[in-house]
Amino acid sequence: GITQHIGAYQVDVGDSTITFLDTPGHAAFSSMRARGAHVTDIVVLVVAADDGVQPQTAEAIQHAKAAGVPIIVAVNKMDKAGANPDHVKQQLSEYELLPEEWGGDTLYAPVSALRGEGIDELLEQIHLQAEVLDLRANPDRHAEGVVIEAKMERGRGAVASVLVQQGTLRNGDYVVLGSAFGRVRAMVDHRGKRLKQADPSTPVELFGLSELPEVGDELAVVANEKNARKLAEHRAEQKKLIALSEGRRNALEDLYAAAARGQLERLHVILKADVQGTLQAIKTALEKIEVEGTEINVLLAAVGDISESDVNLASSDNAILLGFNVKLDSKARQAADQKGVEPEIFSVIYALLDTVESRLKGMLAPEYEHVLNGTAEVRQLFRISKVGVVAGSYVIDGKVARGHRVKILRDGSVIHEGKITGLKRFKDDVREVTAGLECGVFVDYGDIQEGDLIETYAEEIVEQG
């Protein structure tokens, strides 16, 4: 057979087949969710009975919850002398994974992978959960799926690991995966066995692509190579346009703009800290911050350095990524640069809290107030060809300046709002004129009259309380 690592495998249970993928902490998990693809239907969370909940366990739980996937807990290493499944249940109950026997709805399965004990019971629980969820797929249609891994192999070119979700994928099909396309030249399953077709819920490696797709790209089958190329080019163009328009999506300016468009109601936060006690203290403090019209949604709070999966989750959920006394690993830094995520790391709790409060205030549409700069009275009008009307004016108080916004008042009522486009003293162009002096004012309004008042003002943002 062909040596390969697909990151997925299948197990037969009676007349059914269960497909296993990588853990929720897998980098693909968040990006797939971002594209609306429910890649996994059930998460099996493996926790050692002797070690209990570790930082990566908590992280995996948060990733699964972020994807809205039900969790079955496999308590492993039950053969160890120090195995304490009740302690594991107690720990996980703090993450809202309450066992059924304690009045909750989470299934727990004690297993020993070393001895093979409890595995059949675990598989049966997965099968029963799948029946409750009524998971179905239609094999009699063009295949749809999602890329779960991709790599370049010498002599084979671009190789994509794909999970078929709907329909049946066949050798010879013309496929598009993101901006990659091609004809399926060959497929192999998780054992390296060559396949002629792949049914729903089957993970396969396929060969014959024009380029390397991205993890999370959706697979579509089309009629011919021309259509495949056209769709791939369209997707590539869309991807470029999105990349150009998004820019640094987590910059504070983007949060202001998104809030002004009414697209943000919650500030999504991913929090990593060096120790559990500090993590809980910061999380509690964050939940106490109140800015009217906003709320904080902590997507993930976990102990440990910022990882690539954290960056992917922040990117997919438009979340801010905060760290306290932690570092970015090399893969996380690379992913952050690629995805435009800007992790912020603090060593003082108050600085972190102040930053979050500023972000919350930034989500509110800014309020402006008009600050009066000066007032001028129109005393004589001059009409200049190619220029228009110039208002010969006397500055009563304050100052008027080129570029100032203006209100033109007649009989106490505002009849026009615009801007000073030019300003003269005698024949000279000037930037500003102060009280007690005469000047010629150019405004973008043709119906101005003698006796009108010109009020100049500035717009200042009102600080949110």
Q: Calculate mean pLDDT across residues 341-363.
A: 89
Shared-domain flag, residues 89 and 159: no
Confidence of residue 290 (pLDDT cuts 50, 70, 90): confident
pLDDT of the residue at 304: 81
What percent of the chain clears pLDDT 70, i.e. is strictly above it? 87
pLDDT in tens, 441-458: 998 888 899 999 999 998
Shared-domain flag, residues 175 and 223: yes
pLDDT of the residue at 287: 85
442 or 148: which leads in pLDDT: 442
pLDDT in tens, 254-265: 555 555 545 556
In a domain, 313, yes or no: yes
**Lowest model confidence (mean pLDDT) among 40-54, 136-150, 261-275, 419-433:** 261-275
**Amino acid identity, residue 441?**
V
- What's the domain count of the chain? 4
What percent of the chain clears pLDDT 90, i.e. is strictly above it? 48
Residue 276 backbone phi and psi in degrees, to 5: -65, -40
Q: Which span out of 143-157, 271-285, 434-448 was modeled with the highest average pLDDT?
A: 434-448
Q: Calculate mean pLDDT across residues 122-132.
A: 91
- Domain-ending residue, one of 199, 219, 245: 245
CA distance 411 to 231: 63
For the chain, what is the mean pLDDT?
A: 84
Shared-domain flag, residues 164 and 240: yes
Q: Residue 175 maps to which CATH number?
A: 2.40.30.10
Q: Calculate mean pLDDT across residues 314-334.
A: 91
In a domain, 24, yes or no: no
What angle separates helix 308-316 from helix 55-66, to the nearest 10 degrees? 20
Q: Which domain holds residue 105?
A: 42-133
Q: Residue 64 maps to which CATH number?
A: 3.40.50.300
Shared-domain flag, residues 271 and 374: no
Q: Are 445 and 416 in contact, with CB atoms under 8 Å apart?
A: yes
134: DSSP letter: T
- Domain-ending residue, one of 340, 363, 386: 363
Q: Residue 285 maps to which CATH number?
A: 3.40.50.10050
266 or 218: which leads in pLDDT: 218
pLDDT at 272 over 80: yes
**pTM score > 0.85 for this model?**
no
Confidence of residue 291 (pLDDT cuts 50, 70, 90): confident
**Amino acid identity, residue 125?**
Q
Taking alpha carbons only, the member of 247, 248, 462, 250 closest to residue 361 is 462
- Domain-ending residue, one of 111, 133, 155: 133
Angle at 265 between CA 264 and CA 267, to 5 degrees: 80
Taking alpha carbons only, the member of 346, 229, 368 closest to residue 286 is 346
Shared-domain flag, residues 336 and 354: yes
Shared-domain flag, residues 325 and 355: yes
pLDDT in tens, 226-248: 999 999 999 888 877 776 655 54
Shared-domain flag, residues 357 and 277: yes
Q: Calculate mean pLDDT across residues 372-390.
A: 88
In a domain, 5, yes or no: no
Shared-domain flag, residues 293 and 342: yes
pLDDT of the residue at 195: 95
What's the chain's length in residues?
Answer: 465
pLDDT at 285 over 90: no
In a domain, 19, yes or no: no
In a domain, 295, yes or no: yes
In a domain, 439, yes or no: yes
**Lowest model confidence (mean pLDDT) among 5-9, 91-95, 168-172, 326-330:** 5-9
Residues contacting residue 204 through CB under 8 Å, at least 6 positions apart: 6, 161, 162, 164, 169, 187, 188, 189, 195, 198
Shared-domain flag, residues 269 and 236: no
In a domain, 31, yes or no: no
Taking alpha carbons only, the member of 151, 203, 134, 213 closest to residue 179 is 213
Confidence of residue 5 (pLDDT cuts 50, 70, 90): very low
Shared-domain flag, residues 241 and 197: yes
In a domain, 13, yes or no: no
Shared-domain flag, residues 71 and 129: yes
pLDDT at 38 over 60: no
Residue 380 backbone phi and psi in degrees, to 5: -160, 145
Shared-domain flag, residues 454 and 355: no
pLDDT of the residue at 34: 31
pLDDT of the residue at 212: 81
Residues contacting residue 130 through CB under 8 Å, at least 6 positions apart: 16, 18, 41, 42
